[in-house]
Structure 1
Amino acid sequence: MLAIARRYWRADQTHDFRLDPSPEYVRYEGLWDEKRKEFNRWEALLQELQRALPDCKVWDYTPPTANPSFGALVYPPSEEVTHRPQVTWTVAGYLSILAPVYTVHCVRREFLGHQLRSAKAFLGPIPLELRGIADIVARGIEAHYGATALPLEVAQTPVPLYVNLMKPPETTLFHALFTADPWNIL
């Protein structure tokens, strides 16, 4: 996995302030150009997830070139109240464009009124009340793409790469294959 990630992410910052893109970024943009052609396939999966989870809201979260993955956000039902809930949970599923792997994790967000106070990604075990949703997302990605779940212990492997704003020694395979900021969702 590290060898794959190195094809698209640099181990230094020598191109940060240059006008010409790095060879890694040129490859990354080229790969996204190819993968954009598969977006209808991704949308079909999202529609299938919405049918399987009728009480949830399923959203696409694929900002091309910002993340090296297609992304799905699933918002579980919440009580209808006039004010936004203080704590919300979201199930996030990412399918890497770099390798045939995926991940499903949760994001917990806390609000004060309508203002976001904090957001935290939970890459480890899925909370019990969200496991059914996470399982449906995982099975959908596996069925549509034949991808394999990247084990957490592998995903958390540190890599000496610069991935967007993530820098070594904090960068992991998770960041290089899925997203550099898993807590930053809609």
Structure 2
Amino acid sequence: MAPSSEQLLSVARNYWPSSNEHYLEGEASPEIERLRERWEQELKKIDRWWSFLKELESELPEFTIGDATATVNASFRCIAYSGKDVPKRFAVVGCVSILAPVCTVYGLEFEDFEGTRTVHRIWFDPLPAEMQSPARVISRKLETTFGVSALPREIADIPVPLFVEWKEPPDTTLFHALFSSKPERVP
């Protein structure tokens, strides 16, 4: 069972500042320093993540699996790209938070044009039919491998009074604080 929204907000407050003064001054806040220290700890266990990605490749052979992790965020992120022969190009992204025992999965619809990928739409719940099967596989695999729970969308969408990278209140949500401030940014 996922932690409560109050517990998750308390965790998020420990790693993201409630003002942007440190960002404006170009220095790290105490919260951001804690996030950096957390990443240092998590990156020592990176082999577990690489193993997860390898296993995911065998479970989703029709997809190209990649790593979309960026340490400016608060999660490891994997991405499963659809094949080029599908009518609409899409990807399914799985995130496991490094701050709390939660995960989430979402979808991206995109187009490749002259070597540049453009995201047209981000899908949360409900996902389009073609994204549902890979999303179930990724979610189940994240939950069993990392001992986490899927974060319900209604909790992920709760606004938080925190500055997460360049997301500012009132636009910042628990999703941004626990996973990614720019879910559309993927390799």
Q: CA deviation at 1:41?
A: 0.3
Cα displacement string for residues 93-135 of structure 1 (whole angstroms, at most 9, x for unaligned residues)? 0000000000000011135555445432112211111211111
Per the alignment, in what secondary structure is the counterpart of residue 35 of structure 2?
helix
Where do residues 94-173 of structure 1 align in structure 2 (5 Å cutoff)?
94-112=95-113, 114-173=115-174
Corresponding residue for 1:17?
Answer: 24
Q: CA deviation at 1:87?
A: 4.2
User: Normalising by structure 2, what TM-score?
Assistant: 0.90
Per the alignment, in what secondary structure is the counterpart of residue 110 of structure 1?
strand
Where do residues 16-35 of structure 1 align in structure 2 (5 Å cutoff)?
16-18=23-25, 20-35=27-42
Q: Report the number of matched residues.
A: 180
Note the aligned Cα RMSD (angstroms): 1.7
Between stretches 18-27 and 51-60, larger displacement belongs to: 18-27
Q: Residues 19, 130 of structure 1: CA spacing in aligned structure 2 closer, same or farther, 3 A cutoff? A: closer
Query: Which segments of 5 or more consecutive residues in structure 1 lack a partner in the other structure?
Result: 80-84
Per the alignment, in what secondary structure is the counterpart of residue 63 of structure 1?
coil
Per the alignment, in what secondary structure is the counterpart of residue 159 of structure 1?
coil
Q: CA deviation at 1:33?
A: 0.3
| Alignment check: 8 A CA contact 1:94 1:102 kept | yes
| Alignment check: 8 A CA contact 1:108 1:120 kept | yes
Per the alignment, in what secondary structure is the counterpart of residue 16 of structure 1?
helix
Give 2:69's match in structure 1, choosing from 51, 62, 67. 62
User: Normalising by structure 1, what TM-score?
Assistant: 0.90
Q: Residues 50, 115 of structure 1: CA spacing in aligned structure 2 closer, same or farther, 3 A cutoff? A: closer
Identity level (%):
36
Q: Residues 153, 30 of structure 1: CA spacing in aligned structure 2 closer, same or farther, 3 A cutoff? A: same
Q: Residues 115, 60 of structure 1: CA spacing in aligned structure 2 closer, same or farther, 3 A cutoff? A: closer
CA distance in 1, matches of 2:35, 2:116: 35
Query: Which segments of 5 or more consecutive residues in structure 2 lack a partner in the other structure?
Result: 1-7
Q: CA deviation at 1:12?
A: 0.5
